[in-house]
Amino acid sequence: MAARKISLTGVKPSGTPHIGNYLGAIKPAIDLSDEFDAYYFLADYHALNTMRDAAAFKHAVYDLAATWLACGLDPQKVVFYRQSDVPEIFELTWIISTVTPKGLLNRAHAYKAAVDVNESAGNLPDDGVTMGLYNYPVLMAADILIADANFVPVGQDQRQHIEITRDIAVSFNAIFGETLVPPDALIRDEVATITGLDGRKMSKSYGNVLPLMADSKELRKAVMKIVTDSRAPEEPKDPDADNVYSIYKHFATPERLAEVRDLYLNGGLAYGKIKQELFETLDVRFADARARYNNLMADPTQIDAILADGAERMHITAQRVLTKVRAAIGKTTYAVGAR
C-alpha cells in the first residue's frame, strides 16, 4: 500500500484565536486529518517576534492549544506539538539558510511591508526590523520540511511562504541531491480570506476579529460591532458587499442562506436582526467547543500532557528527516548528546 501523504500546518500563539483562523486554518486542517498523516503544531517561536511578555506568551500557547483540541483535533490521530519542543527544526533552519538566497527573503511580503512603512515615514529601511522577522520564512520552511510534508493547509496570506519553502527545498536538492520534499499549499477558495468586523481581512493585528472561544456576552458585543452601511430595512442591498453576510454565509444552513440572500436583494433585511441571528448561530455552533475549551483551560496540565506526547512522536519523524539531511550534506560525526 502506498504511504499516506502528509499534511502539516502551524498557527502562531500570538493573540486570541478568531473565526478567520478557524475557517481558514483550524477547520480545514482537522477535516484533512482523516485522509492524511497529520502534523499540527503551535508555532510558538514564530510568535516570539511579537510576544514580549512572558505571562501573555504562556497564556497564548495554552489558549491556542485548548482551542485546537476544543474544535475537534484528536491528539491520537494527529501529531500535535509545540514547535519549540522540537530542536531538530532549529538545526534544519540553519542548514537550509545556507542555501537560501538573501534576495528571496528581501521579497517576502512581511519584510517588504515593514520596509514600505519605514520608507513612507522617512525612516531607514530596516528600522525596527529584527532578524526574527527577516528569517521568519526560513524557520517556517524548516517547520514544513522537517516532516517531509506534502500539503500545507493555510489561508491565502501564507501562499508566498509555501512558495519560498518549495524554492528552498528545490535549491537544497539541486546542490545535495534529492532529499527534501517540496510541499504544496492547500488553500480552500471559499475560506481563503475571511473578512473582519471592518471588511478588511480578519486579523489579530487589525483588532477586527470575532473571537472563537469568547463567552456569549463578548461574542455578541463583537458581532454588533460589524460595520454595515446605513440602509433602511426595506431598501435592497448587495449581500456580497456586506460584512455580516460575508461571515454568516459560512455558518447559515443553505436553506436559511437562500432566504437571507433574498431579503438582502429584495428588501426586508434589518442589519440589527441579521447580526442577532449571526450571533445566535455562532453561540450555538461553538457552545460545546467552548465547554471543552473552558475545561482544558481550567487545568492546563491536561494540555501539557498532550503536547509532551506529541513532541515525543514528532521527534521520531524529525530525527528521520534530519538524519537524511545530515547524510546529504556529509555530516558524519555526531556531537556528544546529539539525539
Q: How far is the CB of 260 from ligand TRP (least distance, A)?
A: 31
Taking the alpha carbons at both ends of the chain, their separation in whole angstroms is: 31
Using CB under 6 A as the binding rule, whether residue 12 contacts ligand TRP is answered as: yes
Using CB under 6 A as the binding rule, whether residue 157 contacts ligand ADP is answered as: yes
**Which residue number has the CB closest to ligand TRP?**
10
Query: CB-wise, 151 or 245, nearer to ligand TRP?
Result: 151
Using CB under 6 A as the binding rule, whether residue 152 contacts ligand TRP is answered as: yes
Select the residue interacting with ligand ADP from 6, 8, 25, 92 (CB under 6 A).
Answer: 25
Are 195 and 249 in contact, with CB atoms under 8 Å apart? no
Eight-class DSSP state of 120:
H
How many angstroms separate the CA atoms of 228 and 277, rounded?
15
Neighbours of 102 (CB within 10 A): 8
Using CB under 6 A as the binding rule, whether residue 11 contacts ligand ADP is answered as: yes
Q: How far is the CB of 265 from ligand ADP (least distance, A)?
A: 25
How many angstroms separate the CA atoms of 281 and 47, rounded?
31
43 binds, among ligand TRP, ligand ADP, none (CB under 5 to 8 A by kind): ligand TRP
How many angstroms separate the CA atoms of 278 and 286, rounded?
12
Task: Look up cell 511579537; give the residue.
Answer: 50
Site mask, ligand TRP, residues 13-52, x = CB under 6 A?
Answer: ------------------------------x--x------
Eight-class DSSP state of 2:
P
143 binds, among ligand TRP, ligand ADP, none (CB under 5 to 8 A by kind): ligand TRP
Piece in contact with ligand ADP (CB under 6 A), picked from 20-28, 108-116, 161-169, 237-245: 20-28
Cell of 153: 493547509
Query: CB-wise, 45 or 271, nearer to ligand TRP?
Result: 45
Q: How far is the CB of 30 from ligand ADP (least distance, A)?
A: 13
Residues 6+ apart with CB under 8 A from 159: 185, 187
Q: How far is the CB of 14 from ligand TRP (least distance, A)?
A: 8
Select the residue interacting with ligand ADP from 16, 84, 158, 243 (CB under 6 A).
Answer: 158
- Of 203, 114, 98, nearest in space to 155 by CA: 203
Site mask, ligand ADP, residues 172-211, x = CB under 6 A?
Answer: -------------------x-xx------xxxxx------
Piece in contact with ligand TRP (CB under 6 A), picked from 3-11, 126-134, 227-235, 262-270: 3-11
Q: How far is the CB of 11 from ligand TRP (least distance, A)?
A: 6
- Of 283, 241, 285, 286, nearest in space to 261 by CA: 241
Site size toward ligand ADP (CB under 6 A) is: 19
- Of 153, 139, 150, 80, nearest in space to 314 by CA: 80
Burial 198-224 (b: 16+ CB within 10 A, else e): eeebbbbeeebbbbbbbeeeebbebbe
Query: CA 122 → CA 110, 134, 192, 200, 310, distances in Å?
Result: 19, 20, 34, 26, 47
Task: Give me the residues that bind ligand ADP (CB under 6 A), please.
Answer: 11-12, 20-21, 23-25, 154-155, 157-158, 191, 193-194, 201-205
Binding site for ligand TRP (CB under 6 A): 8-12, 43, 46, 140, 143-144, 152, 154, 158, 161
